[in-house]
């Protein structure tokens, strides 16, 4: 089964960068990324890509126009492809059965229906979006019921493990590639066809093949384990603050045990991003659906702890500022859910800012990559009224403008530039006492104290 032409449905954070890397590494394969969002497609075809990722511009430039194309002509792109990645969004369902937990599969289903409609001959369909276990069955059923008699399909699962901000490095040099397929001669051949694409630049021993359900489940479980580590260290951050311990020292001490390992132990104001919460809730829903309430409850706690971490941070701010932030200017540094991305989905900053606005604070928000419109839209989506956004939210163009006249400065994203802030200048600009609440432990507690700030750094006991 030789693959000459690939189509990817969905030009989002996953589809765009992943296809750019495949096109760059496989010049003999034509790769077309198709999305109905014309604005997004135009941006992929422009000099300002819709996704900010270090190094991505160069990867796109190496292949675009040669064998990498972005289009809104979805039907034509699907019809021409030997292999189709489905990389459409799978948000948490906000209505009806499973609301707030189950994945909303309407985009996956409509993609499958479209593929069925326009396909002739044989095609390999690859689930890239994170989806609940057994979605491949649903896709297969839709394809079988809606396609012409001469169309045949193999369905594979190939979850993406890239993290935003490091997408290019993760795609170039992944820990592993996971491909799940049916254990039939046809399924094996389809798996081999996809393996041979990745094998163009990834050592074979890092390409893992499994059955379909193991592959689908592994993606949810990987994200659940990663998020669990963060909730675990965040739970300890509260204990460190109470006891006088330092969470970074504890993390180093436990991380040197090779069974625990040093990564993903950075205490924070909470994890965000489009995957962790969504995937855990998905896992919880799966467990409930399969009659495993104890397992569901166990994983639900990871999300509960994360919510608590955000709300206790806000409480700390309000209590410290003499129990009121009413009309007080608070400089907020960072709005993205992590550094080196313009993505704000589920960013802890959204919830911290919402709760401070509920207390009638005035926010001066600075983020180096997130647009003012995105910040205002995110706040509106979590219920902050347009009037309050107009009167109490200012978007600053640099950290010093945000800090000018502020009662407090709050860091919510670990952007590198915050580590080298001119703290004496910030101190001079702020009202006194000058309070700092460092939700990412990016500032030096000792320096802050020496300069006269009243500081609180997450996980650092006084
Ligand atoms: C995650 C997974 O890492 C990736 O494998 C999967 O494909 C998608 O979901 P992503 O959400 O892009 O990737 O970023 P990640 O680096 O995992 O960070 C998620 C959140 O956890 C961020 O808000 C980050 O700031 C936070 N985090 C991460 C911590 O608070 N502490 C840590 O030690 C690590
Ligand atoms: P992810 O982070 O998983 O990449 P995004 O929400 O960033 O998710 O991107 C998903 C993209 O998929 C969106 O740009 C959306 O317009 C697109 N999309 C949804 N349904 C379809 C479809 N049937 N065909 C093509 N693109 C689709």
| CA atoms of 159 and 18, how far apart (whole Å) | 11
pLDDT in tens, 262-275: 999 999 999 999 99
- pLDDT value for 41: 98
| CA atoms of 254 and 278, how far apart (whole Å) | 28
Could you give the 3-state DSSP secondary structure of residue 156? strand
* Cα-to-centroid distance, 90 and ligand 2 (Å): 8
Q: Which atom of ligand 1 is nearest to the CA of 346?
A: 23
Q: Is the pLDDT of residue 462 over 80?
A: no
**pTM for the whole thing?**
0.94
b/e map 111-125, b = 16+ CB within 10 Å = bbebbbebbeeebbb
How many Å separate Cα 16 from the centre of its chain?
14
| CA atoms of 432 and 405, how far apart (whole Å) | 9
Identify the residue whose C-alpha is closest to ligand 2 atom 24: 9
| CA atoms of 42 and 72, how far apart (whole Å) | 9
**Bridge partners (DSSP) listed for residue 7:** 32, 84
Q: Is 328 a catalytic residue?
A: no
| CA atoms of 72 and 11, how far apart (whole Å) | 10
Q: Is the pLDDT of residue 133 over 80?
A: no
- pLDDT value for 134: 81
Which of 25, 123, 128, 219 is catalytic? The answer is 219
Q: Of all helices (H) and strands (E), which one includes residue 230?
A: helix 212-243
- pLDDT value for 137: 86
Q: Which ligand is nearest to the CA of 350?
A: 1
Closest CA to 230 of 291, 313, 159, 301: 301
| CA atoms of 39 and 120, how far apart (whole Å) | 30
Q: Is 128 a catalytic residue?
A: no
Opening angle at CA 370, ends 330 and 360, nearest 5: 25
| CA atoms of 6 and 27, how far apart (whole Å) | 12
pLDDT level of residue 355 (50, 70, 90 thresholds) = very high
Q: Is 275 a catalytic residue?
A: yes
Identify the residue whose C-alpha is closest to ligand 1 atom 5: 161
| CA atoms of 73 and 78, how far apart (whole Å) | 9
pLDDT level of residue 130 (50, 70, 90 thresholds) = confident
pLDDT level of residue 136 (50, 70, 90 thresholds) = confident
Q: Which residues contact 237 (CB under 8 A, 6 or more apart)?
A: 247, 267, 309, 458, 459
| CA atoms of 3 and 6, how far apart (whole Å) | 7
pLDDT level of residue 22 (50, 70, 90 thresholds) = very high
**Ligand 2 binding pocket includes 10 (Cβ within 6 Å):** yes
Q: What is the CA radius of gyration of the chain?
A: 24
Mutational test site, ligand 1, from 215, 276, 344, max ligand atoms within 8 Å of CB: 276
| CA atoms of 157 and 182, how far apart (whole Å) | 10
Identify the residue whose C-alpha is closest to ligand 1 atom 20: 271
Express as a percent the part of the chain with pLDDT over 90. Answer: 90
Longest CA–CA span in the chain (Å) reads 76
pLDDT level of residue 99 (50, 70, 90 thresholds) = confident
**Other CB atoms within 10 Å distance of the CB of residue 324:** 12
Do the Cβ atoms of 395 and 377 come closer than 8 Å?
no
pLDDT in tens, 392-426: 999 999 999 999 999 999 999 999 999 999 999 99
Identify the residue whose C-alpha is closest to ligand 2 atom 17: 10
Q: Of all helices (H) and strands (E), which one includes residue 144?
A: helix 135-146
* Cα-to-centroid distance, 87 and ligand 2 (Å): 6
Identify the residue whose C-alpha is closest to ligand 2 atom 5: 12
Q: Which ligand is nearest to the CA of 77?
A: 2
H runs (alpha helix) in 147-202: 167-172, 185-198
Q: In what order do the strands lie in the sheet with 454-457?
A: 393-395, 362-366, 329-333, 408-411, 435-438, 454-457
pLDDT in tens, 447-461: 999 999 999 999 998
Mutational test site, ligand 2, from 107, 113, 135, 170, max ligand atoms within 8 Å of CB: 107
**Bridge partners (DSSP) listed for residue 101:** none
**Other CB atoms within 10 Å distance of the CB of residue 70:** 27
Q: Which ligand is nearest to the CA of 269?
A: 1
Do the Cβ atoms of 191 and 156 come closer than 8 Å?
yes
DSSP designation for 91: P
């Amino acid at each position: 089964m030789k693959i000459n032409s690939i189509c990817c449905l969905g030009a989002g954070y996953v589809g765009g960068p992943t296809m750019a890397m495949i096109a760059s590494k496989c010049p003999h394969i034509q790769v077309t990324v198709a999305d109905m969002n014309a604005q997004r497609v135009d941006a992929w075809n422009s000099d300002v890509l819709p996704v900010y990722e270090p190094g991505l511009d160069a990867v796109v430039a190496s292949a675009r126009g040669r064998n990498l194309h972005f289009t809104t002509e979805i039907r034509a792109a699907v019809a021409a492809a030997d292999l189709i990645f489905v990389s459409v969004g799978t948000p948490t369902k906000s209505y009806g059965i499973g609301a707030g937990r189950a994945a909303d599969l309407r985009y996956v289903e409509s993609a499958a229906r479209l593929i069925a409609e326009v396909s002739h001959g044989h095609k390999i369909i690859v689930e890239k979006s994170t989806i609940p276990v057994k979605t491949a069955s649903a896709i297969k059923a839709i394809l079988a019921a809606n396609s012409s008699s001469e169309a045949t399909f193999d369905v594979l699962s190939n979850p993406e493990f890239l993290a935003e901000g490091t997408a290019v490095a993760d795609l170039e040099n992944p820990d592993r590639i996971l491909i799940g397929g049916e254990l039939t001669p046809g399924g094996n051949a389809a798996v081999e066809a996809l393996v041979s694409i990745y094998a163009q630049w990834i050592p074979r021993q890092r390409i893992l093949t499994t059955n379909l359900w193991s592959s689908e489940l592994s993606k949810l479980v990987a994200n659940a384990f990663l998020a669990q580590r963060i909730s675990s260290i965040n739970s300890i951050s509260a204990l460190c603050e109470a006891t006088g311990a330092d969470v970074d020292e504890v993390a180093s001490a436990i991380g040197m045990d090779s069974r625990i390992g040093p990564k993903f132990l950075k205490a924070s104001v909470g994890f965000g991003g489009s995957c962790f919460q969504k995937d855990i809730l998905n896992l919880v829903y799966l467990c409930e659906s399969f009659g495993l309430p104890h397992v569901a409850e166990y994983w639900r706690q990871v999300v509960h702890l994360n919510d608590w971490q955000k709300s206790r941070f806000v409480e700390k701010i309000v209590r410290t500022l003499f129990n009121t932030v009413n009309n007080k200017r608070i400089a907020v540094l960072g709005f993205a859910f992590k550094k080196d991305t313009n993505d704000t989905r589920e960013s802890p900053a959204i919830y911290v800012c919402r709760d401070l606005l509920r207390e009638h604070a005035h926010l001066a928000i600075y983020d180096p990559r997130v647009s003012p419109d995105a910040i205002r839209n995110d706040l509106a989506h979590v219920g902050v009224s347009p009037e309050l956004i107009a009167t109490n939210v200012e978007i600053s163009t640099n950290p010093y403008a945000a800090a000018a006249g502020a009662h407090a400065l709050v860091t919510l994203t670990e952007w590198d530039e915050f580590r080298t802030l001119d703290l004496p200048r910030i101190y001079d600009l702020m009202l006194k006492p000058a309070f700092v609440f460092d939700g990412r432990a990016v500032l030096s507690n000792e320096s802050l104290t020496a300069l006269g700030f009243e500081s609180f750094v997450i996980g650092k006991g006084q």
